[in-house]
Structure 1
Amino acid sequence: MNIIKEIILNAKHLFGWKTNRKIIVFSVDDYGNVRLNSKEARLNLDKMEMKIYSRFDLYDTLETKEDLTQLFAILESVKDKKGRHPVFTTFSMTSNIDFEKMQKDDYTCFYNETLPETFEKLSKQQPEAYAGAWDLFREGIVKGLLKPQFHGREHLNLIVFNDKLQKRDKQLLCALKNKSYTSISDEEYPNMSSMAAFDFWDFIENKAFIPIIQEGLDLFEKIYGYKSTYFTPPVNNIHHSLFKTLTEKGIRFIDLAMIRKEHQGLNVFKKSFNYLGKKEKDGLIVMVRNVVFEPTEDRGINWVDFTMKQIETAFRWNKPAIISSHRVNFCGHIDENNRNIGLMALKNLLDEIIKKWPDVEFISADELGECINKTKSLN
């Protein structure tokens, strides 16, 4: 590792909450989201020359029963000093596109459905993959292997979506006809991602996001039986004017980038610096992920070694290791080899963690937030 990377790796730990405990948190994004429907859908998109922008366009599907079965086996194979298994804080969506309803309406209007409805449909359409998947997911929660928190209502930007729908965009219609929302270009929308739910061009567009957040959090409580207290915005973008709505609905902790460029509208940006435990004016406590683990992303590195180095640095500075990852690393519905690579790396990482730090503690992201809120041991 060159000296510049070494400086950056250490610098992000200079500020914020500290602890002598060796805490490991897995913050894993995108659960509950339908991006790619099936192998057949991907083949159809390929035939239509729909561009593959990333591994998400290739492999990211709603978690299958086999995805969860194999993930749980890995998580249950390891225990910390208190006898607790690693827990995935699954940042989850509460709704998806209702592809069938949109088809009946000739794709003239956006319709959505709740996550349990999505699982129910897919268990009938693709029983070999999805029959029993939702029950297994909930079983994982009961076992303490999963702890869902809020990631948004849908993992898509409705401004981009509705504009493309109105224009009868061929790319969008092709994806929707294949019950997918992937390989979508957003080049014509400055500073907006088709996947970022809270991206905007004109600041006033943020007003439309308020009921989306409110409905999403109400659905979260209805689906999981408890209120979400922790929020990670899709693609990590959200304007601080929406923080008030989040706190009013029970959110207490929010993931933000250490160096954050917040869009103010009309291509104007404002930079801010964040650190673990920083308190926003609206009362939200900022959480900053400090470790990256993306084993199916080809960066030409050994992901286990790279992640271990990051954890070691965090512990050296008396910081918890908040490991950022994505569901796509553990998806095998399109290609089992993708899941095998991700899970093998996860197993190796967990074994190395226990070996190097036998006094490690595995907790969920919201539990870490509560620890910070109680102790407030900040620089």
Structure 2
Amino acid sequence: MNFKTFLAKNYVNFRGWSTKRKIVVIESDDWGSIRMPSKEVYDDLLIKGIPVNKSYFTRYDSLESKEDLQQLFAVLRSFEDKNGRNPSITANALVANPDFDAIKNDNFETYHYEKIEKTYQRYYGNTDVFELWKKEGIEGRLLYPQFHGREHIGVWEWMHALHSGEPQELLGFESKAILGLGNRKSATRQKDYTAAFDYVSDEEKFSLIPILEEGLQLFEGTFGFKSKSFIAPSAIRGDYLDECLFANNVLYHQLGGQWVPNGKGGIVYKDRFWGDRNEFGQIYWRRNVMFEPSRQPDFDWVSSAMKEVNIAFRWGKPAVINSHRVNFMGTLSEENRANSLQLLSELFSALLKKWPDVEFMCSDELGDYMMSTLK
């Protein structure tokens, strides 16, 4: 960690609410969403000249499989905190994916989606993955869902990309893959179309409200409870969505570092710190530890994360670890999953050895605790 990074990490942690408890939360985005369907599709797109090897998401990320969940749960069950609690991963979930067949049958005129239950059925011929997630992941709070969005695409921009006729996008569509690789000549955003709540016009901006509301309702129907917290895909969203979120029981924002669309294709960064509230009383916190082995497999993620946890605890802040789903997926690369799970085990061992009084929580529990102490 260089001096500039050291200063930045301390800046994120020294302001706002604090606690004497050593709390560890893992926030993991993208569960339920599709990306690359299979190794065969990946290889085919690469042969056809699509640079799917340039992004670690298109290289490693795919819909979670039963084996992915089983191996992850085995690691989580191997460790306990001082209260006998296993580590918890907050699974920030999407509840729908594009319905490629319906869109094609409609001549690309209208966007259609399918619920994730149908996606699991389409991928695996059954809903065993979803049943395992509910029975062991949710009931045991090993992999506990919170709301990430209806789907992990900006519908307007994705449909625009398909209408453009660009070979990259059409090949991705025919393969039922979400590429989001950017570099399109028609692109107006600084981020790609995987940012579901980005917008470049008032028409797009206000069309996102019913998408958000429907997504929140689908989340409750899918998982059987309302989500208390929210993180937008790519951390891009406007504050005008807070009213809809609050009306649907969302009390906490997982990411205080927010990118706000300016309505002209750009985004503006907005800083919020621990315990900050908006006009609806919704609470913000920060992700202050990075653990992304898929991004850079040869990096020493355990030592880096331990240094960041140390800074967080020094300032009386929970350690909120950012670790996307892609790290734990093995459909495209078993080595990717094995490497990440090994490093995750090493991280838990190091945490419990250095801080035996560590407490594992999910994001909704962190929010509830912060709310109780801020009153």
> TM class, shorter-chain normalised?
over 0.9
How far is 1:122 from its partner? 1.4
Q: Which residue of 2 aligns with 1:17?
A: 17
Q: Does 1:134 align with 2:130?
A: yes
CA contact (8 A) 2:90 2:362 kept: yes
- Counterparts of 2:265 and 2:102, CA distance in 1: 36
Q: 1:75 to 1:273 in 2, by over 3 A?
A: same
How far is 1:37 from its partner? 0.6
CA contact (8 A) 1:23 1:361 kept: yes
Q: Which residue of 2 aligns with 1:200?
A: 199
Secondary structure in structure 1 of the residue aligned to 2:97: strand
CA contact (8 A) 2:56 2:295 kept: yes
CA offset digits 1:233-282 (Å, max 9, x no partner): 00000011111111111111113343x44222225655432101110113
1:159-238 matched pairs, under 5 angstroms? 159-185=156-182, 187=184, 188-191=186-189, 192-238=191-237
Provide the aligned C-alpha RMSD in A.
1.8
Q: Does 1:41 align with 2:57?
A: no
- Counterparts of 2:86 and 2:123, CA distance in 1: 30
- Counterparts of 2:265 and 2:157, CA distance in 1: 16
Q: 1:268 to 1:194 in 2, by over 3 A?
A: closer
Secondary structure in structure 1 of the residue aligned to 2:177: coil
Secondary structure in structure 2 of the residue aligned to 1:147: strand
How far is 1:300 from its partner? 5.6
How far is 1:120 from its partner? 1.4
- Counterparts of 1:154 and 1:204, CA distance in 2: 19
Q: Does 1:118 align with 2:148?
A: no
CA offset digits 1:94-129 (Å, max 9, x no partner): 0011123234445443211001111112122xxxxx
Which of residues 278, 281, 290 is equivalent to 2:279?
281
Gaps of 5+ in 1: 125-129
Which of residues 341, 349, 352 is equivalent to 1:351?
349
Secondary structure in structure 2 of the residue aligned to 1:185: coil
Aligned residue type for 1:167: S
Q: TM-score, normalised by structure 2?
A: 0.94
- Counterparts of 1:327 and 1:33, CA distance in 2: 10
How far is 1:294 from its partner? 0.5
Q: TM-score, normalised by structure 1?
A: 0.93
Q: Which residue of 2 aligns with 1:76?
A: 77
- Counterparts of 2:351 and 2:120, CA distance in 1: 34
- Counterparts of 2:12 and 2:181, CA distance in 1: 33
- Counterparts of 1:231 and 1:108, CA distance in 2: 30
- Counterparts of 1:107 and 1:77, CA distance in 2: 48
- Counterparts of 1:264 and 1:183, CA distance in 2: 21
CA offset digits 1:146-194 (Å, max 9, x no partner): 1100000000011111212333332222112112111543543222421
Identity of matched residues, %? 36
Q: Which residue of 1 aligns with 2:61?
A: 60
CA contact (8 A) 1:44 1:178 kept: no
Secondary structure in structure 2 of the residue aligned to 1:319: coil
CA contact (8 A) 1:107 1:173 kept: no
CA contact (8 A) 2:235 2:259 kept: no
How far is 1:68 from its partner? 0.4
CA contact (8 A) 2:55 2:181 kept: no
- Counterparts of 2:280 and 2:202, CA distance in 1: 19
CA contact (8 A) 1:171 1:184 kept: no
CA contact (8 A) 1:303 1:345 kept: yes
> Which one is further off, 172-181 or 18-27?
172-181
Q: Which residue of 2 aligns with 1:313?
A: 311
CA offset digits 1:321-357 (Å, max 9, x no partner): 0001100001100110010111111011011111111
CA contact (8 A) 2:31 2:64 kept: yes
Q: 1:222 to 1:253 in 2, by over 3 A?
A: same
How far is 1:204 from its partner? 4.1
How far is 1:2 from its partner? 3.0
CA offset digits 1:20-66 (Å, max 9, x no partner): 00000000000000111111111221122112241001111010011
- Counterparts of 1:29 and 1:261, CA distance in 2: 16
Aligned length: 371
Q: 1:11 to 1:142 in 2, by over 3 A?
A: same
Aligned residue type for 2:239: H
> Which one is further off, 52-61 or 26-35?
52-61
Aligned residue type for 1:344: Q
CA contact (8 A) 1:15 1:275 kept: yes
